[in-house]
Amino acid sequence: MQRGITTPLVCGVAAALALGVAGCAPDTGDDAMLPTSVLLAKEKAKGQDKHFRLIELPPGFKIEKVADGLNLPTSLTWDDQGRMYVAEAGGGLAPEQLAPIRILRIGDDGVTPVAANLSSKGINSAMVAITWHQGAFLVTHRAADLTGAVSRVTLDGQVQLLFSGIVDNQSEHQINDIREGPDGMIYVSVGPAGNSGVMDLSVAPWIKLSPNVHTRPCRDIVLTGRNFKTPDFRTPDPADSVLTGAFVPFGTSTSVGQVIPGVTKCGGSILRFNPGNAEATLEMYAWGFRNLIGLGWDSRTGAMYAAENGYDLRGSRPVVDKFDASLRITQGKWYGIPDFSAGREPLTNAAFEPPDRFQAPVYIGGNLIGRDLGFVIDHAASGLTPPTPAVVLGRHELNSSPSLLDVAPASWGSLAGDVFIAEWGDLAPPTNPLRSAFAGFRVVRVDPETGMVSPFVQNCAAGPASALGDRSEGIERPFDVKFGPDGAMYIVDYGVVTIDFSQAPPYAYQPGTGVVWKVTRQGNFPGNGKVPPPPVQGPVGKGGCRPLK
């Protein structure tokens, strides 16, 4: 079964960037004038009791749309007056812009742009996350040189760059969430360059834009000297190949015992800073993550959690992992990537080895040693303590893409303290040719005491609503989940992203399909909160929940 396949978009495709953004690109010349379809107050009132026939919820909860027709929305926040704002990212995983990059206020009177034309003010695609702090927004994005950056944006759209220069984010993984911690510091999650520490053919377009892009560690590390023989896409001869090591630019070989200096602006990390003097106070809080997305705290206990996108089966060092993970975060800890699995088991375990046809030949000191993952870091020589499975909070289905998250407040009764995580969904088969079924496309609940991961908002069959026949009646690709000042849960649904092998890269993003959802409690959650009750599907209407073909 081929999943998410679509016909070519009528308006053509954007410039090709692997794993990047392609699809119909609206004119971004005047952000404020681009229409955004919304549910106005009267329409909201009419739709309060509407049952979305594809959506399943636990008993005692109701879901409604707050806004529809958004352009690639990613994140929500509220100001000191309780007004809600949503960030429109402008694009996807690559620096190409497909839609306006702007901040919108959502109210009973609809959606109002408050900070538009941000792409002309140094905010480059994609603007991933947004938070309100001391009278303005703090946002994560790419800078003009495509490095990861954080800026302060005022309500009238003025932009102040706080810092940039995270080289890893010149590749497919960006700087992601931004949240204020219990200590008053600002925390950001930072993705690493590449799939598993090695720059290779799967990130060729980014390497062409930024030849020096590579994974950078937060502390000095010592390498094992493993080099991977990879097609050299930089030359006209398709038979050319080159050896590339870990934590170095593409085409650079490494040696046994080579030291890679650590940097503060490192990938695969959680960084924190004082926004009053960001550059001077920026520091590493924890590191050794794959593509870390969401951050959050339990206000009662101070426990910190994060959500991580796991390995792909791509590139010169592909990994067959068992699941994606949400994590318990401890300051100063190294979390093992790129040498450990999502479950924090060593990749030297044969269970994580892909078939040889997916792996590149590995050389050490010029000698071919075979085709296997191995360790790329000498952990003992680097002074690194390997992580243990105890750091795992929840085990999410492989390729489900756990994204932004929040912790339920006290008003949610027996669910207070549970972690709710948006699972954006897979991008298979390009990121995993062995996957044959949908993963993700839902919001899940994780019980920190048991580690149980259970669906909370999902469609009545696996996959996004567009694959079930009606985007307007279900969940598509949830990216953010937040609890608002009113105690309700809000979900930012990014919209339709499909696989289209008639274009390169085979990812078609569709602006204008994003949604903000609101979930409210209508009664007590059944049971003791530890064992989830069976989901309840609203009246299905004509056609019901159509099974996948």
More confident residue, 14 or 126: 126
Structure letter (DSSP) for residue 340 = B
Residue-wise DSSP of 71-138: SSEEEEEE-TT--EEEEE-SSSSSS---S--EEEEEETTEEEEEE--GGGGT-BS----EEEETTEEE
Q: Which pLDDT tens digit goes with each residue over 60-82?
A: 999 999 999 999 999 999 999 99
Q: Report residue 364 CA to chain centroid gap.
A: 34
Partner residues linked to 383 by β-bridges: none
**If DSSP states are collapsed to H, E and C, what string results for 177-214?**
EEEECCCCCEEEEECCCCCCCECCHHHHHHHHHCCCCC
Name the percent of the chain lying above pLDDT 90: 80
Q: What are the structure tokens assigned to 261, written together?
A: 């200096």
Question: Could you tell me the pLDDT band of residue 530, with boundaries at 50, 70 and 90?
Answer: low
The reported pTM is: 0.91
Q: Tokens 């990879």 correspond to what residue?
A: 230
Interatomic CA distance for residues 493 and 69, integer angstroms: 10
Helix (H, G, I), strand (E, B) or coil at 315: coil
Helix (H, G, I), strand (E, B) or coil at 465: helix
Q: Tokens 């003010």 correspond to what residue?
A: 121
Helix (H, G, I), strand (E, B) or coil at 31: helix
Q: Which pLDDT tens digit goes with each residue over 188-245?
A: 999 999 999 999 999 999 999 999 999 999 999 999 999 999 999 999 999 999 999 9
Identify the helix (H) or strand (E) that includes residue 278.
helix 278-281
Q: Quick one: which of 359, 496, 372, 507 has its CA closest to 430?
A: 507
Question: Could you tell me the pLDDT band of residue 251, with boundaries at 50, 70 and 90?
Answer: very high
**Helices assigned H by DSSP within 317-430:** 379-382
